[in-house]
Amino acid sequence: MNGADGNITRYLLDGKDETRPALLTLKGDYTFGQLRSTSAEVAQYFVAAGGRKGDRVILVSENSFFWVASYLGILRAGLVCVPLPPNISPSDFDYIVGITEPSFAFLQSAFAVKYARRFPEKSLVTDNGLPGKTATPSLQLAQLRAQAVDRVPDLPTVQGSDLAALMFTSGSTGKPRGVMVSHGNIKANTDSIVQYLQITGEDRIMTVLPFHYCFGTSLLHTHLRAGGTLVLDHRFMYPEKVLQRLQETQCTGFAGVPSHYQILLRKTSLRKKSFPHLRYAQQAGGHLAPVFLHELREALPTTQIFVMYGQTEATARLSYLPPHLLETKLGSIGKGIPGVRLRVQNEAGEEVRPGEVGEIVAEGENVAQGYWRAPEETASSFRDGRLYTGDLATVDEEGFIFIAGRAKDFLKCGGKRVSCKQLEQQLLEYEDLLEAAVIGVPDEVMGEAVKAFVVPHPGLTAVEERLRNFCKQRLPFPLVPREIVVLNALPKNHAGKVMKEELRNAEAPGSFNGE
């Protein structure tokens, strides 16, 4: 490997014992050698097919060997991966394809039929052909054969500043926005996480988080880098099966968003089971209430619990709370991870005093390059090499950070950021509504649930039931409003902007009449 080459795939795979297990999946186990050779074949396919450094590649798949080998091959060839969730809406998929202009698509066969028509035959690769097709118009991953990468002289040299991935997240306009993550961003964040979690080649992580989500991708990066193993299990809808496999595979780690832990604590036999090998548990993706942290501590008394905070715009992680401070600093997200400086600033750019509220600002090599083809949003959040997170917080006398709220209009449902504006737009597709406003309310399972305030056309009755049925047809189940409140008008300020704080605080919101 050339010393000037900053390629993240080589950084993750080179020097590993090729006989060691890298992935344990429900369909089979895969070694580091298999990952290395298959990702090399994928990389050489791009060279042979005319792919150029910087070309975008759509990747749609569940967690699998196909996902990992495709991702590593894309990055190895110097192309840019655009990982998307399998359940992405058609409108978001079309928008992202339009804005990224991909040259290739790697689609798991279960989802390929849905999207195959959007891509030329020679640019589409699947894991097992296209279901229901007698003649597969695409290449299969198993057909990509090439010499070992060490014998291939024409793979491009990749610098740390070169783009590795576009990680799409909800934007303030309601449209998805692609966070531009570089090879150097991934390396910096991976080194930091491996250091503070002390991950080694003996670690084995239970992976229920999807790899298209930056938290899930960070698990892949860190454990491959350390020479550890990832146990892939996408059956969290049956959490008892996941617990059983956690025991059987002797996992040393588990990672989840608040809803994972809430379900495990309240709806499974977690407390009755023993996990002697479970060294640590990672929690991020939103605020886990103190009552659940207490319960988790009691259920896993010998497991280190790491509470963490991050953003897609920071590649993954920004801060962590050391496990031994879980009780004394309960509710804190801790301090910046190694290599990251976190400050809580007021509007004048000064660091706040203990108890004052300000915005969390991050600085470090893990801070992404901005948003893909969104200069205005990039200029708002990325300034002078710093990330302005939009999250409000306080600090205590020792500098530990406590989240106070979000400046941006999002809610977090099951660890996923959801644009309230986008939900409002979807509600307003119901023809009988004049206005709609969405806020998040605490939910034991999902972290936050949707509460909708709506203004229907005058004289209409039974709006709630019809609107709920409409939402069930249009929205994923977690985003169907738990509560629907019908108002005469939404409260607004002099500029005509809806005052959501009044909606959050009002004891009798039905009293608003627009006067």
Tens digits of residue pLDDT in 362-395? 999 999 999 999 999 999 999 999 999 998 899 9
SS3 sequence, 178-220?
Answer: EEEEEHHHHHHHHHHHHHHHCCCCCCEEEECCCCCCHHHHHHH
pLDDT at 144: 67
- For residue 441, what are the β-bridge partners? 449
List strand residue ranges (DSSP E) for 64-218, in order: 80-84, 104-107, 124-126, 139-140, 163-170, 176-182, 204-207
CATH fold of 1-16+29-159: Rossmann fold (3.40.50)
pLDDT at 228: 98
Q: What is the pLDDT of residues 206-221, one digit of tens each?
A: 999 999 999 999 999 9
| Mean predicted confidence (pLDDT) in 213-239 | 96
Residue 171 has pLDDT above 80, yes or no: no
pLDDT at 59: 97
Confidence of residue 497 (pLDDT cuts 50, 70, 90): low
Span(s) in the chain for CATH 3.30.300.30:
410-511
| Mean predicted confidence (pLDDT) in 209-237 | 96
The chain-wide mean pLDDT, for the chain, equals: 88
Nearest-5° Cα angle at 508, 503 to 509: 35
| Mean predicted confidence (pLDDT) in 79-99 | 93
Higher per-residue confidence, 317 vs 291: 317
Q: Torsion angle of alpha carbons 492, 498, 499, 501, nearest 10°?
A: 150
Q: Which of 71-80, 123-132, 290-299 has the lowest mean pLDDT?
A: 123-132
Q: What percent of the chain has pLDDT over 90?
A: 63
Q: What is the pLDDT of residues 382-432, one digit of tens each?
A: 999 999 999 889 999 999 999 886 666 778 888 777 878 778 878 988 888
pTM: 0.81
* CATH no. of 410-511: 3.30.300.30
| Mean predicted confidence (pLDDT) in 456-470 | 87
| Mean predicted confidence (pLDDT) in 152-170 | 88
Residue-by-residue DSSP string for 252-318? SEEEE-HHHHHHHHHHSSGGG---TT--EEEE-SSPPPHHHHHHHHHHSTTSEEEEEEE-GGGSSEE
Residue 122: DSSP 8-state: G
Is the separation of the CB atoms in 441 and 483 below 8 Å? yes
In the sheet where 447-456 sits, what is the strand order? 433-443, 447-456, 483-486
Q: What is the pLDDT of residues 246-282, one digit of tens each?
A: 999 999 999 998 888 988 988 899 999 999 999 999 9
Residue 3 has pLDDT above 50, yes or no: no
Is the separation of the CB atoms in 192 and 382 below 8 Å? no
pLDDT at 129: 62
Residue 134 has pLDDT above 50, yes or no: no
Is the separation of the CB atoms in 283 and 323 below 8 Å? no
Span(s) in the chain for CATH 3.40.50.980:
1-16+29-159
Per-position b or e across 170-205, b if 16+ CB within 10 A of its CB: bbbeebbbbbbbbbbbbbbbbbbbbeebebeeebbb
